[in-house]
């Protein structure tokens, strides 16, 4: 395909996957995920696919520079733990080196593990101890981690680029089809809206001699559309919407629900996301959108509920506990259990 052809193309999901190459590890990743899913099916478990962390957009084929975003993966890693506690099996699809369930409690930047160890080198061999103040939390985290390891209910997949993410999401969601309504999708990753198609990338490091850098990026296809309509028809799909202008949260969440037809959008403001989110969902059937999909859908078609926690009165409480409890309840209704 020539550059001109690529430039004029608005990427649909179909044209995206027809023109952008899959990551080298895809087949192996999918085979491992399939094995995990089959085991969970044989044990009658519900499975949630949690996506977490940010995607990168490489600017060169021999990549030196890339665009990234702020997400540390806190939402995804924390939620994965609460889903495991609630009895779900979890496929944790996360950005390489972002936070992970359990180990997140000992992140190198907020709680480095060397700081909670003591060494006594007065004897040979030297002894290492965990500081007394750290015992309670470490025992709790470690016990849960070991329990999950023993039960084999957590499976981890990694992505780096937005391309890795899209290919993995498509493949894993197709593997989840046999679970029908027992599958949940919890799409908390911060996925780039723009990317540079492979055909437009410079092969080598972009040189700085020519003054300012102009890059025109293409829009990443709206992946929720094929996810809902083609890749999984019965899974319970929860997407996240991040905004920095809080007044946009609910209108944009409504629009996404009307456009894609999934079950819940959780809206969060960048600065308030750790203690406030809003659940937006259709009240009845699929909300109606105007013909060209531009006008605001009628608000009476949607229900909203806000979840708040108060960090001043309860600094250790995590909002993900409330988010997951609410989703577990809604998913039960979806599967016909209540
Ligand atoms: O990873 P984190 O805890 O720092 O942030 C979580 C989040 C804000 C990325 C997530 O809650 C979210 O909104 N994800 C979707 C972002 C988007 O609109 O693409």
DSSP string, 235-302: SEEEEEEEESSGGGHHHHHHHHHHHH--SEEEEEETTTTTTEEEEEEESSSPPP--TTS-SPPPGGGE
User: Do both 47 and 160 map to the same domain?
Assistant: yes
Domain extent for 79: 1-101+151-234
pLDDT at 10: 75
| Domain shared by 212 and 88, yes or no | yes
Ligand 1 atom closest to the CA of 69, numbered from 1: 9
> Which residues does a 6 A CB cutoff place in the pocket of ligand 1?
71-75, 188, 190-191, 240-242, 268, 273
Question: What pTM does this model have?
Answer: 0.95
Ligand 1 atom with the smallest distance to the CA of 243 is 18
Strand, coil or helix: what is 64?
A: coil
Asked whether residue 8 is assigned to any structural domain, the reply reads yes
Q: Is residue 179 part of a domain?
A: yes
128 in any annotated domain: no
Instruction: Give the closest residue to 94 by CA, choosing from 140, 157, 136.
Output: 157
As a residue count, the chain comes to 338
- Pocket mutation for ligand 1, best pick of 166, 240, 251 (most atoms within 8 Å of C-beta): 240
Structural domain contains residue 129: no
Of 234, 268, 296, the domain-final residue: 234
pLDDT for 209: 81
Distance 172 CA to ligand 1 centre (A): 20
Tell which of 234, 259, 292 closes a domain.
Answer: 234
Can you give the pLDDT at residue 327? 98
Residue 171 lies in a domain: yes
Q: What is the ipTM of this complex?
A: 0.99
User: For 83-92, 110-119, 158-167, 233-242, which range has the lowest pLDDT when averaged over its residues?
Assistant: 110-119
What mean pLDDT do residues 291-311 have? 90
Co-location of 209 and 273 in the same domain: no
Mean pLDDT for the stretch of residues 260-285: 96
Residue 285, pLDDT score? 82
187 and 303 in one domain? no
Nearest CA to ligand 1 atom 5: 71
User: Model confidence at 6, in pLDDT bands (50, 70, 90)?
Assistant: very low
Q: Same domain, yes or no, for 61 and 206?
A: yes
Task: Answer yes or no: is 142 within a domain.
Answer: no
- Position 260 in a domain: yes
State residue 9's pLDDT score: 54
Q: What is the CATH number of the domain that holds 13?
A: 3.40.50.10300
Clarify whether residues 230 and 243 are in a common domain.
Answer: no
Q: Does 251 lie in the same domain as 229? A: no
**Statement to judge: residues 198 and 252 lie in one domain:** no
**What's the total number of domains in the chain?**
2
Identify the sign of the CA torsion 216, 296, 307, 309.
positive
Q: What is the spatial distance between Cα 267 and Cα 252, in angstroms, rounded to a whole number?
A: 9
| Position 8 pLDDT exceeds 80 | no
The answer on 75 and 186 residing in a single domain is yes
Decide if pLDDT at 4 tops 90: no
- In the listed set 219, 234, 249, which residue is the last one of a domain according to the structure? 234
235-258 mean pLDDT: 97
**How far, in Å, from the CA of 186 to the mean position of ligand 1?**
11
The per-residue pLDDT for range 111-164, each reduced to its tens digit, is 898 998 999 999 899 999 999 999 999 999 999 999 999 999 999 999 999 999
At residue 290, the pLDDT reads 76
pLDDT at 309: 97
Query: How does pLDDT run across 183-220, given as a tens digit for each residue?
Result: 999 999 999 999 999 999 999 999 988 789 999 999 99
Nearest CA owner, ligand 1 atom 16: 190
Q: How many CA atoms lie within 13 A of 77 on its CB side?
A: 22
Among protein residues, the one with the nearest Cα to ligand 1's atom 14 is 188
Between the CA of 168 and the centroid of ligand 1 the distance, in Å, is 19
Cα(308)–Cα(296) distance, rounded to whole angstroms? 26
């Amino acid at each position: 395909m020539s550059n001109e052809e690529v430039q004029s193309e608005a990427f649909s999901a179909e044209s995206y996957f027809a023109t952008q190459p899959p990551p080298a590890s895809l087949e192996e990743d999918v085979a491992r995920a399939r094995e995990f899913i089959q085991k969970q099916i044989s044990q009658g478990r519900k499975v949630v696919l949690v996506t977490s962390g940010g995607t990168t957009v490489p600017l060169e084929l021999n990549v030196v520079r890339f665009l990234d975003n702020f997400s540390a993966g806190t939402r995804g890693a924390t939620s994965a733990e609460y889903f495991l506690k609630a009895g779900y099996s979890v496929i944790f699809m996360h950005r390489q080196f972002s936070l992970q369930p359990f180990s997140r409690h000992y992140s190198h930047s907020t709680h480095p593990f060397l700081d909670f160890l003591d060494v006594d080198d007065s004897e040979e061999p030297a002894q290492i101890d965990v500081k007394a103040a750290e015992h309670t939390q470490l025992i709790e985290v470690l016990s849960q981690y070991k329990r999950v390891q023993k039960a084999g209910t957590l499976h981890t997949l990694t992505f780096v680029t937005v391309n890795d993410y899209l290919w993995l999401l498509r493949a894993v969601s197709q593997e989840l089809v046999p679970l029908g309504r027992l599958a949940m999708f919890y799409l908390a990753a911060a996925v780039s809206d723009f990317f540079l198609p492979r055909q437009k990338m410079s092969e080598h490091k972009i040189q700085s001699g020519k003054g300012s850098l102009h890059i025109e990026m293409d829009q990443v296809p709206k992946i929720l559309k094929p996810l809902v309509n083609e890749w999984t028809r019965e899974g319970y799909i929860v997407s996240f919407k991040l905004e920095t202008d809080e007044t946009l949260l609910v209108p944009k969440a409504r629009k996404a629900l009307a456009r894609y037809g999934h079950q819940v959008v959780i809206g969060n403001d960048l600065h308030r996301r750790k203690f406030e989110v809003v659940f937006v969902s259709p009240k009845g059937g699929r909300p109606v959108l105007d013909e060209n999909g531009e006008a605001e859908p009628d608000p009476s078609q949607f229900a909203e509920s806000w979840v708040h926690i108060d960090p001043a009165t309860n600094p250790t409480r995590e909002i993900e506990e409330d988010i997951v409890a609410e989703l577990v309840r809604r998913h039960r209704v979806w599967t016909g259990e209540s």
